[in-house]
Amino acid sequence: MNKIKFLPACLCLTLSTAVSHQAMAAGFQVNEHSANGLGRAFAGQAAMPENASVLATNPAAITVFDAPSFSAGINYIDPNVDIDGELVSTLGGTSIPMSANENDIADSAVIPSFFYAQPINEKVSVGLGIFSSYGLSTDYSDDFNALHFADNAEITTITMNPTVAYKVTDTISLGLGLSVTYADAEIGTSTPKAVAALTQGAIPANATIVNLQGDDLGYGWNVGAFWQATSTTNVALSYRAETELNLSGEINSDLEPTYNQGGKLALNLASITELAVNQIINDQWSVQASVNFTDWSTFDKLEANLADGTDLLLKQEDFEDTWRASIGATYQYNDQITLRAGYAYDDGAVSYAHRSLSIPDTDRQWFTVGATYAVTASTSVDFGYAYLKGREANVNQQRGLGPIVSNLTATENASANILSVQVNTQF
């Protein structure tokens, strides 16, 4: 098997464009599984069986429900990611500076979720969740002067997660889930108009450098423990295992026809661990806290395996493990209205050495509020809002395109607004 350690510079696609979910969460993770959880920045989520959506983070907690429970939610994510940069392209010893500015590179997204949990008897409960934990959509305009660094990308995942939970004692429950995740991706880079003009047409403008399309089914599992330590304290520990995907599809290139063939690309979804606490203060107030660990260090490189046996090392990623800490408060205003607020600090998975236009990932803060309105004794509606502010990220990259060598220096600024609505009912 051929092993290409260094691609021709014009073919160095950074598939990482497909894994930079706007500033929503570290790497390309999506946290938005419930509106009630969003309202308190997901603090204490694994220890808060307020409705069936708890199944996404802790299958053990569904033993609390004494009747069939259903939750359906819609999350609207509106990111704003701006790039302010300068590109210096060198051709034949002459260096030509040009701007590399682009606003609003991340597309808005709507993410639905559905959860159902049901007790079988006093000890056993079962459930099913349908949701997304990873995804993104980014797109640079045709006039962007650094399209050979990053152009367009879209990745969509959906997970089906059946679970079973067992009440070991009156205060301790254990849960197990199996998951099937479908992922579909399209990622590409192109030749910029301005850079192509420097070669006087030798390199065509807006030609595809590399474009990959593929999909796959991956399988995984998750476990959880739920402990009602006292009448006012819940403690939970949950773990979602890594899901291994091998995206299979087509690779296309206008510049190198030999790469126009089938191929595969490994893309692993990192494991997630959460320790959560919910503490009731009195009849109206409670506080929540969580610490989450995501094992992103398993995502070390992007490598395409072509049908002819060639391995293309697209980019050395070397993601770092991340931590997320959150704290929240819940206030029972009256029998019908519950109010929430929360704050979280979320590590970025990308180090400065590997940060790029494709993954300008950085640390971010979450500021959230939310409310629940009880329509009836068995039906409620949750609302959640979050404002995310990412820390300013510097990017410094070099890339070749035919005879041109381009050096990029840029700054990325990111923020996002998230709105979530969820309906919950018991039968």
Burial of 316 (0-12, 13-18, 19+ CB in 10 A): exposed
Overall average pLDDT of the 137-144 stretch? 86
Overall average pLDDT of the 146-159 stretch? 85
Structure-token match 């395996």, residue found: 305
Residue 129 vs residues 72, 116, 178, 237: alpha-carbon distances, Å: 10, 6, 10, 19
Cβ–Cβ under 8 Å, residues 114 and 161: no
Residue 231 vs residues 157, 234, 235, 239, 281: alpha-carbon distances, Å: 39, 8, 12, 25, 11
Would you state the CATH architecture of domain 3-426?
Beta Barrel (2.40)
* pLDDT at residue 316 in the model: 65
Residue 214 vs residues 4, 110, 182, 206: alpha-carbon distances, Å: 21, 22, 11, 22
Helices and strands counted in the chain (H then E):
2, 22
- Residue 8 pLDDT > 80: no
- Residue 3 pLDDT > 60: no
- Residue 145 pLDDT > 50: yes
* pLDDT at residue 156 in the model: 84
End-to-end CA distance of the chain: 59
Q: Which helix (H) or strand (E) holds 194?
A: helix 193-198
Q: Which helix (H) or strand (E) holds 37?
A: helix 35-39
Overall average pLDDT of the 30-39 stretch? 88
- Residue 236 pLDDT > 80: yes
- Residue 425 pLDDT > 60: yes
Query: Binning pLDDT at 50, 70 and 90, where does residue 126 land?
Result: very high
* pLDDT at residue 239 in the model: 97
- Using a pLDDT cut of 70, give the percent of the chain over it: 90
- Residue 229 pLDDT > 70: yes
Query: Binning pLDDT at 50, 70 and 90, where does residue 352 land?
Result: low
Helix, strand or coil, per DSSP, at residue 62: helix
pLDDT digits (tens, 9 = 90+) for 45-96: 999 999 999 999 999 999 999 999 999 999 999 988 899 999 999 988 888 8
Residue 92: Cβ within 10 Å count: 7
* pLDDT at residue 2 in the model: 34
Burial of 95 (0-12, 13-18, 19+ CB in 10 A): exposed
* pLDDT at residue 29 in the model: 60
Overall average pLDDT of the 354-375 stretch? 86
* C-alpha torsion 356→417→340→67, nearest 10: -90
- Residue 27 pLDDT > 70: no
Overall average pLDDT of the 384-394 stretch? 91
- Residue 15 pLDDT > 80: no
| Residue type at position 63 | T
Residue 218: Cβ within 10 Å count: 20
Overall average pLDDT of the 228-242 stretch? 97
Query: Binning pLDDT at 50, 70 and 90, where does residue 139 land?
Result: confident
Q: Domain locations in the chain?
A: 3-426
